[in-house]
Amino acid sequence: MEPKPPSERFRELAARLAAGDAGVSLAEAALVLAGEFQPGLDPAPSFAELERLAREAGGHVPAQGPLAERVDGLTTFLHDRAGFQGDEERYDDPRNSFLDQVLARRAGIPITLAIVYAEVGARIGLALQGVSFPGHFLLRTPGEPPLVIDAFHGTRLDERACAARLRQVLGEDARFGPERLAPATPSEVVVRMLGNLKQSFAARAEWVRALECVERVLLVTPAAPGELRDRGLLWEQLECFGPALGDLERFLALAPGAPEAGAIRARVHALRTRAAGIH
């Protein structure tokens, strides 16, 4: 099975992201991404559902008043009334990374649920920004200090809770600071979504699909060393030793001091031996 090349729509999205993210909504980006793995996907029903949710949310979220009350109103509506829940039982199900499926199933992972919150919030005048927090994508309000939302669990987090989560992921020496809550750009959101999908497909040994994810990440962030490494390893899984060798050698040229560089050098040596044997 050959990897499917990125569509023209995705190439256009990647070009817009590379030009500075201007005018790219998270819903638009997420639906273009979903269409890469669901051929023929029509985004119109998903946009219509976001509009419908916003109209309904307007009856539950105060139009004015303290920001915390408005944020809690949106969270209560989407989590408790509309039923958007984190999919803890099938967390790595690829459908959890497709916004259309999340809207239909009312289940997802932190980043796709955060997109639902941000898009519904924007439609009712409540601005929310994504946060590429280690281990678990979050949301925040603009301004300092921000209010922080965990869309996966439908809760608001204080600074202590954020710090505790950071230590769970990075270890007890990790220090929490305002920089950990920096707003994510649309490019960062798309790359993180593709990274989640790559892991989901790789866990199922769907190497071609995982490779398609890497190809699209490299359109958004060209020459990212970690993605070149992963693409090389995926080519190796598919027994395409020439492309694998090229990517892994380029990885070593870009990141010779990476912690895994020694292991990759050993693989490069083995691949050279295998490629020589084939020819």
Q: What is the arithmetic mean of pLDDT over 138-147? A: 94
CA distance 113 to 121: 12
The token duo for 37 is 């793995």
Look at residue 279 and tell me whether its pLDDT is greater than 60: no
Beta strands at 129-131 and 155-157: parallel, antiparallel or unpaired? unpaired
Q: Which domains does the chain have, with CATH numbers?
A: 8-181 (3.10.620), 223-279 (no CATH)
**Model confidence, pTM:** 0.94
pLDDT at 162: 93
Q: What is the arithmetic mean of pLDDT over 123-144? A: 95
pLDDT at 76: 97
Look at residue 18 and tell me whether its pLDDT is greater than 90: no
24 confidence band (pLDDT: 50, 70, 90): confident
Q: What is the pLDDT of residues 28-39, one digit of tens each?
A: 999 999 999 999
Half-sphere exposure of 200 (CA within 13 A, CB side): 20
Q: What is the arithmetic mean of pLDDT over 53-73? A: 94
Q: How far is CA 263 from the centre of its chain?
A: 27
